[in-house]
Chains A and B, each alone.
Chain A
Amino acid sequence: MLDNKKLTELKLTAANVRKHILTGTHAAASGHPGGSLSIADVITLLYFEVMNTSPETAKSPDRDRFVLSKGHCAPALYGVLAERGYFPKEDIATLRRTGSYLQGHPDMKAIPGVDMSSGSLGQGISAANGMALAGKIDKRDFRVYTILGDGELEEGQVWEAAMYASHYKLDNLTAFVDFNGLQIDGDIEKVMSPLPIDKKFEAFGWNVIVCDAHDFNALLDAINQAKETKGKPTMIILKSVKGKGVSFMENNPSWHGSAPNDEQYAQAIAEIDAEIERIKEGA
């Protein structure tokens, strides 16, 4: 359990990450706010509570690693890396600009703190497998975390990787699927249903946990259970809300890949600022 002070800090950080997501996509007039907002809480928890990594140890062979398999949600990753001090927060406004290091999708060569380039769906989970395997080969006890989209599960490579991770007993790998139920073309069940997600991963030999994506204590419990599970990888299915935290973006697939205009941006920031005040009052 997180104590109240820590919980408040995490909530405030996640709110700031949400503001970075909005600022970056608004400044770029493009990008993927919906799915970025749905993973803002889990990614904040990973970098501020769970993972053994920091700007100072960003190249250490023993650090924990993170792969954003759903790479289009880079604004969430960049937001949390900026909050964590990997690069200046002001740079978020250069997202997707010509000449900026903050590429539209994560670029490990250019962006401090990014462990793997990603963006082409299905490939990140395989790369996370490779890292987990390298850890086993070298007998290092780092852990590897990766986040997939629920629509991403439609990629065949995800299931090649799912088979691989359990075959090689990669219990140092924890994967998440951001189960917000929406992809670009609409409801995942209408476009191409990947359901049931839990039964599929269980059948592929994974330990599966279902969890509320926006409850820090539940997330931490699930991550700790994954750490204690030996002999198989863990998939944490995040029951999430796409666009979480911005009323008009929530559960609306049109915010998958479009940025807020000036007016929408102002409203979204005002909503999150109000939430920040509520968090502070509740603390």
Chain B
Amino acid sequence: MQKSATREAYGLALAEFGEKYDIIVLDADLSKSTKTDTFLKKFPERFFNTGIAEGNMMSTAAGIASCGKIVFASSFAMFAAGRAFEQIRNSICYPNLNVKIGATHAGISVGEDGATHQCLEDIGIMRTIPNMVIINPADKAESILAVEAAIKHDGPVYLRFGRLAVPEIFDRDTYKFEIGKGVELIEGTDVTIIATGLLVPEAMTAADKLKEEGISARVINMATIKPIDREIIEKAARETGAIVTAEEHNVIGGLGSAVAEVLCEVAPVPMLRIGTQDVFGQSGKPAELFEVYGLTAENIVAKAKEVIRLKNK
């Protein structure tokens, strides 16, 4: 299967949609890494480097957006959601301005740079801000479709992309992406695995392995973390009675929390959360780190069996 990083897709999408939409792109000295340089090469008059000053970038983006423009502000997730949290909250989300935050290098898959750059808190931080939409695409096609959906959405959007090349699992021409809608990728009746980002292909692999053992696992790709698709979660809970969430994020505040909130309110069933377990990351090769922190198909299989045991208790 072909592989590519979702940040690459972000750059390609900006360059493509720059033709069709009057978008402005800002970056804080990371354009070669966030891939906004793909847009810069094509539309230099609509690209503005803010230097290494993320707070200023976010408030500047708000000012530009207040003049009726669609602005993409890009940096690593750590410095976008982390350092510039308050500018995003007060300058962008409070006035509900049309700023799209392209946050790349999210999660543990940043790898060798280590804990300071492995943002595992961004979904949690962004999720608590009113007006914010959060999308964590799983692959190239979904990333491109998510960028266009963000352009069409009137208001702030946090787009979460990765550094690592990941399998291209969707076909852009047939895949339907809609903000706020989870997508059932594999049917199943015994357990549901709700995954986001690069854990989606792992969840699909896990479902295949579970099938070999006679377990029918449903797989849902939850690209939009906010607003969360309550309907698909409730349906999965009622029909399969057991849930596993899988994300490249702290289990506190991310997809697992969002799903747990819905389950507790409307359809409590046993659930287990895969993600980093409230710890910082470390330097290492991404694949090795996935093993260390349990972000693997094997761990999803194990947790799926465990949650089924809880259901049958």
Please tell me if the beta carbons of B94 and A160 are within 8 angstroms of each other in the complex. Answer: no
Check B60 against A137 for contact (C-beta < 8 Å).
no
Chain A hits for B94, CB < 8 A: 107, 117
Decide: B66 and A137 in contact? CB cutoff 8 A.
Answer: no
Are A130's CB and B55's CB within 8 A?
A: no
CB nearest neighbor in B for A109: B95
* Residue numbers in A under 8 Å from B75 (CB-CB): none
* Nearest CB of chain A from residue B198's CB, rounded to whole Å: 33
Q: Does B1 contact A (CB under 8 A)?
A: no
Q: Does B186 contact A (CB under 8 A)?
A: no
| B95–A134 touching, CB < 8 Å | no
Cβ distance A273 to chain B, nearest Cβ, rounded Å: 37
Q: Does B61 contact A (CB under 8 A)?
A: yes
Please report the C-alpha to C-alpha distance between residue A238 and residue B181 in the assembled complex, in whole angstroms. 53
Q: Nearest-CB distance from A9 to chain B (Å)?
A: 31
B48-68 residues at the A interface, CB under 8 angstroms: 48, 50-51, 53, 55-56, 58-68
Which one, B50, B58, B69, contacts A134 given CB within 8 A? B69
Q: Which of A109, A115, A124, A127 has the most CB of B within 10 A?
A: A127
Chain A residues near B56 (CB-CB < 8 A): 126, 129, 157, 160-161, 164
* Contact status B95-A133, CB under 8 Å: no
CB neighbours of B63 from chain A (8 A): 67, 116, 126-134
Q: What number of A residues sit within 8 Å (CB to CB) of B?
A: 33
Kindly state the separation between the CA atoms of A168 and B45 in the bound complex, as whole angstroms: 12
For residue A50, CB closer than 8 A to chain B, the reply is no
Residues of chain B contacted by A116 (CB below 8 angstroms) = 62-63, 66, 95
Instruction: Name which of A107, A109, A130, A135 has the most chain B CB atoms within 10 A of its CB.
Output: A130
| 8 Å CB contact of A126 from B24, B46, B51, B91 | B91
Give complex CA distance A115, B64 in Å.
12
A194 on the interface (CB 8 Å rule)? no
Chain A residue numbers with a CB within 8 Å of B48 are: 133, 168
Check if A126 sits within 8 Å of B90, measured CB to CB: no
**Chain B count of residues within 8 A CB distance of the other chain:** 29
Determine chain B's interface SS by DSSP, over half rule. helix
Interface residues of A in 97-138 (CB under 8 A from B): 107-109, 115-117, 119-120, 122-124, 126-135, 137-138
B87 interface residue (CB < 8 Å to A): yes
Considering the complex, which residues of chain A in the window 201-242 have a beta carbon less than 8 Å from any beta carbon of chain B?
none
Contact present for B95 and A123 (CB under 8 Å): no
Do B61 and A130 have beta carbons less than 8 Å apart?
yes
Q: Please give, as numbers and ranges, the residues of chain B lying within 8 Å of A108 by CB-CB distance.
A: 66, 95
Does B96 count as interface, using CB distance less than 8 angstroms? yes
Q: Whole-angstrom distance from the CB of B214 to the nearest CB of chain A?
A: 56
A283 CB, min distance to chain B CBs, angstroms: 39
Interface presence of A163 (CB below 8 A): yes
Q: Are B67 and A61 in contact (CB under 8 A)?
A: yes
- B8 CB → nearest A CB, Å: 27
Considering the chains assembled together, what is the distance between the CA atoms of A161 and B53 in angstroms?
Answer: 9
**CB-defined contacts of B65 to chain A, threshold 8 Å:** 130
Asked if B64 and A126 sit within 8 Å, CB to CB, the answer is no
Write out the residue numbers on chain A whose beta carbons fall within 8 Å of the beta carbon of B68.
Answer: 61, 134
**Once the chains bind, are A157 and B55 in contact (CB under 8 Å)?**
yes
Which residue of chain A has the shortest Cβ distance to B68 in the bound complex?
A61
Please name all residues of chain B whose beta carbon is closer than 8 Å to the beta carbon of A61 when the two chains form the complex.
67-68
Q: Which residues of B contact A126 (CB under 8 A)?
A: 55-56, 58-60, 62-63, 87, 91
Query: Are B24 and A137 closer than 8 Å at their CB atoms?
Result: yes
Residue of B nearest to A127 (CB): B63
Cβ contact within 8 Å between B67 and A138: yes
The residue of chain A having its C-beta at the shortest distance from the C-beta of B63 within the complex is A130
* Nearest CB of B to A112, in Å: 14
B residues near A133, Cβ cutoff 8 Å? 48, 60, 63-64
A127 and B46 contacting across the interface, CB-CB below 8 Å: no
B71 to chain A, nearest CB (A): 8
**Is B87's CB under 8 angstroms from A130's CB?**
no
- Residues of B within 8 Å of A107, CB to CB, are 94-95
Given contacts A117-B90, A117-B94, A138-B67, contact A122 B55 (CB under 8 A): yes
A160: which B residues are within 8 A, CB to CB? Answer: 50-51, 53, 55-56
Question: A137, B59: Cβ atoms under 8 Å?
Answer: no
**Cα(A138)–Cα(B45), bound, Å:** 11
Contacts of A67 in B (CB 8 A): 63
B86 interface hit (Cβ, 8 Å): yes
Q: Which residues of B10-64 have CB atoms within 8 Å of chain A's CB atoms?
A: 24, 45-46, 48, 50-51, 53, 55-56, 58-64
Please give me the 7 A-B residue pairs with the lowest Cβ-Cβ distance, nearest first.
Answer: A130-B63, A126-B59, A134-B67, A160-B56, A127-B63, A160-B53, A130-B64
Known contacts A128-B63, A134-B24, A157-B59; 15 additional CB pairs below 8 A are A108-B95, A115-B66, A120-B91, A122-B59, A123-B62, A123-B90, A124-B59, A126-B62, A126-B63, A127-B60, A127-B63, A130-B66, A137-B24, A160-B55, A164-B53
Sample 30 A-B pairs with CB under 8 A, ordered by A number: A67-B63, A109-B95, A116-B95, A119-B90, A120-B86, A122-B55, A124-B59, A126-B55, A126-B58, A126-B59, A126-B60, A127-B66, A128-B63, A129-B63, A130-B60, A130-B64, A131-B64, A131-B67, A133-B60, A133-B63, A134-B63, A134-B66, A137-B24, A137-B45, A160-B50, A160-B51, A160-B55, A161-B56, A164-B53, A164-B60
